[in-house]
A and B are shown apart, each in its own frame.
Chain A
Amino acid sequence: MSQFPDSTLAEQNLQMSKKSVLELRNVNIFYSDNQAVNDVSFNIRRNKITAIIGPSGCGKSTLLRSLNRMNDFVDGARVEGELIFSNENLYGKEVDPVEVRRRIGMVFQKPNPFPKSIYNNISWGPLINGYNGSTDELVERSLKQAALWEEVKDRLHESALNLSGGQQQRLCIARALAMEPEVLLMDEPCSALDPISTARIEDLLFELKSSYTIVIVTHNMQQAARISDYTAFMEMGDLIEFNVTKKIFTRPAMKRTEEYVTGRFG
């Protein structure tokens, strides 16, 4: 039982949902001697979809990969500045990158299911992280969340590689959701998919928003406009503008942003 009256609780929830999950403070990212991201700061809000847009090579994927330390695997990559996640700097000395990736999940550009069964694709992550509930339930729940259950429920033990590209990508989303991540990062998740699969995934993101915080990098401005609540526009490693998506696409503050979203370059 809550100790607060209902109205206060609702207010608190609202406060909570407004709060940031991830705060980027003066983030600089280098590849050996080249700087890919320059002094970027913005906040990622809970239960919202934040889109990062910008022309090719603007550093948006690099920035996304730094949010769950996937850049650790790139030779010569270095991150400076602070990325605050639950009161801790993700790049602090005492932070275990494995723990970071467990809590901040990722879906990649190209669908990358494991060459194993659909079932094992979902259950592997939680199992290695010590999950000891019912894997059957977990698999069903995750596949339902990713709107894939109806299509695959009769062939859970078949290889995931037999699925179509769009189904594979939804499987990858289900696999990430099975970990119940606090933040879900998506790196151009629809760029390898046909329009119908893309639409399904966009619908899916809309539904997931109520329980997850999503950061999506996209090449497709219409997509950003359709699905996101906040948009960050980047160019040449700089954050040009960060604002509510509606503002970015209707009344951007910067001229460069306007030129980009109206399709004059990029």
Chain B
Amino acid sequence: MPLTTEQESRHLEKRHRKARFFAIFCAAITWSSVLLLAVLLYQVSIEGFRWLDWQFISSFPSRFPERAGIKSALVGTIWLISLVALISIPVGVSTALYLEEFAGKGKISKIIEVNVANLAGVPSIVYGILGLAIFVRFFALERSLISGALTMSLLILPVIIIASREAIKTVPQGIRNAAYSLGATKWQTTWAHVLPASFPGIMTGVILALSRSIGETAPLIMIGAMTFVAFLPEGPMDSFTAMPIQIYNWVSRPQEEFHELAAAGIIVLLAVLLAMNATAIFIRNRTERRMK
């Protein structure tokens, strides 16, 4: 039986109400997480702000809070992240390209796919143990930057691979067909068209992965990054510390001043993270615009 006009308008009213409710619900969820982050930042800022000065950034750690600084940890983190990026991006993107463009759709690629997805869920401490056994002990790389970077790369590789594969999948088949029909080889097609077209998506994955690795502590403690370093690393074979470890160390001391130093350290860590992401997003958007 057809609805009367009145029934129809009541029904429509109900549907609009549902849509409004859902929009408000989503907004509430979004803003509550933003609020949480704001509270956290506020808390950290009032605790750590008075320690945040050039002296803090340019000094080595010390027993005396007023002389302690984050210099070695900051430099260590920058070294570490640069090495991790150098290792994980080429390996991760190549793997994704291989799996998407070159490997067949057979059993082996299926097995690799499942394994990569599972590896993304393995706790970071397990990667730490692996790094300790393989890089520190077996390859005798000692407790060096390169051991840390290799371990951290293993940790974030699954994220980079999965994100890159998704990005590569979204490249329209028409672009590949166009290239092939001009007598391009698979490699030429991939290098000149598939990779540039998926670049923005790959960058997003890389940003997420590197952001994760900058804050990771457990695997670095496991492979034995030091907590008190009064020198700067000069090469990948030097021992090092990183900001999360320095912060962790300060938090675990009894004196209140060190807790405040930890808060200041967190601010610096967040600033580095933000700067890094901003750069990456800037690069991504610029290439995205060029594609349009």
A-B interaction: yes
Interface residues of A (CB under 8 A from B): 68, 70, 73, 75, 98-99, 101-103, 105-106, 108, 110, 112-116, 124-125, 128-129, 159, 161, 172, 175-176, 179
User: In the complex, what residues of A have CB within 8 A of residue B179's CB?
Assistant: 114, 124
Minimum Cβ distance to chain A for residue B89 (Å): 22
B292 with A161: CB separation less than 8 A: yes
How does the 8 Å CB contact mask read for B262-292 relative to A, with 1 for contact and 0 for none?
A: 0000000000000000000000000000011
Chain B residues whose C-beta falls within 8 Å of the C-beta of A73 in the assembled complex: 176-177, 180
CB-based contact B174/A125 at 8 Å: no
User: Given A102-B182, A175-B182, does the pair A112, B177 have CB atoms closer than 8 Å?
Assistant: yes
In the complex the two chains form, what is the Cα distance from A75 to B178 in whole Å? 18
Q: How far is the CA of A113 from the CA of B172 in the complex (A)?
A: 11
The number of chain B residues touching the other chain, given as a range, is 20 to 34
Quick check: B197 and A115 within 8 Å, CB to CB?
yes
Known: A129-B183, A159-B291. 11 other contacts (CB 8 A): A101-B183, A106-B181, A112-B175, A112-B177, A112-B178, A114-B175, A115-B197, A124-B179, A129-B182, A159-B292, A172-B178
A116 to chain B, nearest CB (A): 8
CB < 8 Å neighbour of A179 from B180, B183, B192, B291: B183
What's the Cα separation between A99 and B177 when bound, in Å?
15
Contacts of A124 in B (CB 8 A): 179, 182, 192
Interface residues in chain B, defined as those with a beta carbon under 8 Å from any beta carbon in chain A:
105, 172, 174-185, 188, 192-193, 196-197, 291-292
Contacts of A106 in B (CB 8 A): 177, 181
B183 touches A102 (CB 8 A): yes
Q: Which of B174, B178, B184, B192 has the most CB of A within 10 A?
A: B178
The residues of B that contact A103 with a CB separation of less than 8 Å are 183
Shortest Cβ distance from B180 into A: residue: A101
Give CA–CA (A70, B181) in the complex, Å.
7
Contact A179 B182 (CB under 8 A): yes
A128 near B174 with CB under 8 A, answer no
Return chain B residues, CB-CB under 8 Å to A128.
182-184, 188, 192
In whole angstroms, what is the CA distance A98 to B177 when docked?
Answer: 12
Query: Which among A75, A103, A116 has the greatest number of chain B C-beta atoms within 10 A?
Result: A116
User: Cα distance A75–B104 when bound, in Å?
Assistant: 9
5 closest A-B pairs by beta carbon, nearest first, are: A102-B183, A125-B182, A112-B174, A106-B181, A115-B291
**In the complex, A14→B177 CA distance in Å?**
35
Q: How far is the CA of A265 from the CA of B172 in the complex (A)?
A: 34
